[in-house]
């Protein structure tokens, strides 16, 4: 099984080609007539030269060396690796969605604008917010956008001195990174023994310099912040705003809404909650929702509807807006898939999604805690975190458990996150997995726990079934080789 795969450059042979282009015999001019020589390239770029079948086999072979949701169970915590419906792929490829230029006149893109306008409405309803922007391209881009909106609002009301953003120690790394990118200082809030925000610590930290608290609810331990109303009151009393990281929104649709919990700003990850594929690391989409008072600060353009004329248009006239966070209007192709998903499952379907996501997580947790240490033994939401602490006594680390799971045919859970759990394994099954799949996974985890005790070396040297074994990540980071060069 183990074998090196040639790079496309190593398959290349001068003279081979895939491309074909129409003849250009009706133009007599030459490149050198039009561009001065000093601006012309002397040596062509080293691009591969292959015929089409070589290309197709190369990438097909590469795809076989990759694991996706379609290959098998993918319980990667905080990433919501649910099934990506095929119909959405077809829909997003309708030529009426792909072959439209962003600068076409509004009357020629009414379908696209209507879709985005309605998507805004749907996301408002699901989140309990008043206004949405679809512009951000990913969750962390949404965070940055949301925080800039907060900053602009605070400046506008004369509270621009507020420099602190509070972030729980269980938060995603993007939260503090986004806050820093927006010029805020990050203050970490410790979690309490129940895995939630420590109220006393929050009270001590929230003051006249607090701009916002960023909170994921349910949090990254998969636990619902039960004190959310008190948290909201403390932050608002101090004059700060409440930011909702929607990475875990798959747990709450139709059950509770960030807007009703007191959040002022929300971002969604359409590639998590709304079933759009993760694409090997994007494209995603990170729409941001806000309460009314923050609306003037959202990015431009906004999508509006002229009700009488039944006409959709782009509104750039928002003088207090933070500006644009990208070109054009958002990851439209991703938004199309998420829109189709919402229309397909409807309001009852969305609630069922969250119910089953939570049911699946609680079922898995109830079985896995027999073999793994469960640091927070209480009802979870859509995900939970176990610790490899027991296995660590035999020298088997969370990383080893993850690698051994690969041999059983699974993508491993998120490991070593959240940082507050030792040897963390963060597991999110999602609602689309069947009881049989969950049981098989439980069985694999049970066997690995046994192996860790009886034959720890077997786990520590895993994986055995993959195209490569464990890779040396240290040497490459010291002396990175990030591109191919001809030898």
Measured CA to CA, the distance from residue 74 to residue 76 in angstroms comes to 6
Measured CA to CA, the distance from residue 52 to residue 17 in angstroms comes to 7
212 sits in which H/E element: strand 210-216
Q: Under the phi-then-psi rule, with left for phi > 0, alpha for psi from -120 to 50, and beta for the rest, what region is 35?
A: beta
Listed residue (69, 33, 71, 39) closest to 465, CA to CA: 71
Structure tokens at 407: 């041999």
How many angstroms separate the Cα of 246 from the Cα of each of 299, 384, 462?
19, 16, 34
Give the shortest CB-88-to-another protein separation in angstroms.
9
Give the shortest CB-5-to-another protein separation in angstroms.
6
Listed residue (395, 447, 442, 397) closest to 422, CA to CA: 397
| CB contact at 8 A, 348 and 356 | no
Give the shortest CB-271-to-another protein separation in angstroms.
7
Give the shortest CB-125-to-another protein separation in angstroms.
5
Give the shortest CB-458-to-another protein separation in angstroms.
15
- Considering beta carbons, is residue 61 or 292 the nearer one to another protein? 61
Give the shortest CB-376-to-another protein separation in angstroms.
12
- Considering beta carbons, is residue 329 or 451 the nearer one to another protein? 329
> Nearest 5°: phi and psi at 310?
55, 50
Give the shortest CB-255-to-another protein separation in angstroms.
6
- Considering beta carbons, is residue 26 or 308 the nearer one to another protein? 26
Measured CA to CA, the distance from residue 74 to residue 399 in angstroms comes to 16
- Considering beta carbons, is residue 106 or 393 the nearer one to another protein? 106
- Considering beta carbons, is residue 276 or 387 the nearer one to another protein? 276
Structure tokens at 297: 């600060």
- Considering beta carbons, is residue 176 or 375 the nearer one to another protein? 176
Residue 270 CB neighbour total at 10 angstroms: 29
- Considering beta carbons, is residue 204 or 344 the nearer one to another protein? 344
9 CB-near residues (< 8 Å, 6+ apart) = 46, 48, 484, 486
Listed residue (277, 173, 168, 169) closest to 213, CA to CA: 168
Give the shortest CB-273-to-another protein separation in angstroms.
13
- Considering beta carbons, is residue 130 or 453 the nearer one to another protein? 130
């Amino acid at each position: 099984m183990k074998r090196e795969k040639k790079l496309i450059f190593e398959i290349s042979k001068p003279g081979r080609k895939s491309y074909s282009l129409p003849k250009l015999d009706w133009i007599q001019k030459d490149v050198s007539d039009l561009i001065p020589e000093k601006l012309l390239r002397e040596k062509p770029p080293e691009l591969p030269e292959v015929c089409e079948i070589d290309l197709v086999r190369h990438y097909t072979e590469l795809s076989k060396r990759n694991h996706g949701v379609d290959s098998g169970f993918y319980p990667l915590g905080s990433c919501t690796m649910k099934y990506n419906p095929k119909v959405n792929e077809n829909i997003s490829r309708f030529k009426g969605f792909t072959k439209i230029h962003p600068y076409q006149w509004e009357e020629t893109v009414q379908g696209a604008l209507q879709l985005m306008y309605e998507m805004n409405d749907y996301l408002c309803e699901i989140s309990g917010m008043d206004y949405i922007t679809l512009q951000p391209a990913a969750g962390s881009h949404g965070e940055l956008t949301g925080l800039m909106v907060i900053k602009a609002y605070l400046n506008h009301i004369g509270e621009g001195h507020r420099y602190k953003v509070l972030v729980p120690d269980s938060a995603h790394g993007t939260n503090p990174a986004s806050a820093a990118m927006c010029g805020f200082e990050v203050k970490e809030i410790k979690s309490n023994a129940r895995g939630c925000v420590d109220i006393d610590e929050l009270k001590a930290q929230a003051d006249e310099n607090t701009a916002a608290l960023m909170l994921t609810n349910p949090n990254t331990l998969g636990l619902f912040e039960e004190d959310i109303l008190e948290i909201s009151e403390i932050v608002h009393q101090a004059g700060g705003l409440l930011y909702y990281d929607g990475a875990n929104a798959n747990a709450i649709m139709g059950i509770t809404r960030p807007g009703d919990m007191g959040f002022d700003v929300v971002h969604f990850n359409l590639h998590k909650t709304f079933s759009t594929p993760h694409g090997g690391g994007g494209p995603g989409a990170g729409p941001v929702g806000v309460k009314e008072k923050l609306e003037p600060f959202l990015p431009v353009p906004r999508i509006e509807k002229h009700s009488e004329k039944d006409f959709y248009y782009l509104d750039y006239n928002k003088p207090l807006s933070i500006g644009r966070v990208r070109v054009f209007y958002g990851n439209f192709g991703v938004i199309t898939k998420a829109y189709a998903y919402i229309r397909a499952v409807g309001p009852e379907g969305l609630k069922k999604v969250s119910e089953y996501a939570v049911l699946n997580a609680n079922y898995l947790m109830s079985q896995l805690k027999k073999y793994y240490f469960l640091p927070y033994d209480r009802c979870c939401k859509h995900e939970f975190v176990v610790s490899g602490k027991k296995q660590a006594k035999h020298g088997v680390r969370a990383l080893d458990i993850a690698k051994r799971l690969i041999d059983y045919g699974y993508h491993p859970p998120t490991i070593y996150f959240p940082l507050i759990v030792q040897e963390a394994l963060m597991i999110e099954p999602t609602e689309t997995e069947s009881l049989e799949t969950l049981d098989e996974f439980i069985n694999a985890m049970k066997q690995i726990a046994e192996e860790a005790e009886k034959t720890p070396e077997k786990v520590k040297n895993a994986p055995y079934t993959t195209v490569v074994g464990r890779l040396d990540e240290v040497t490459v980071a010291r002396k990175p080789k990030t591109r191919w060069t001809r030898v």
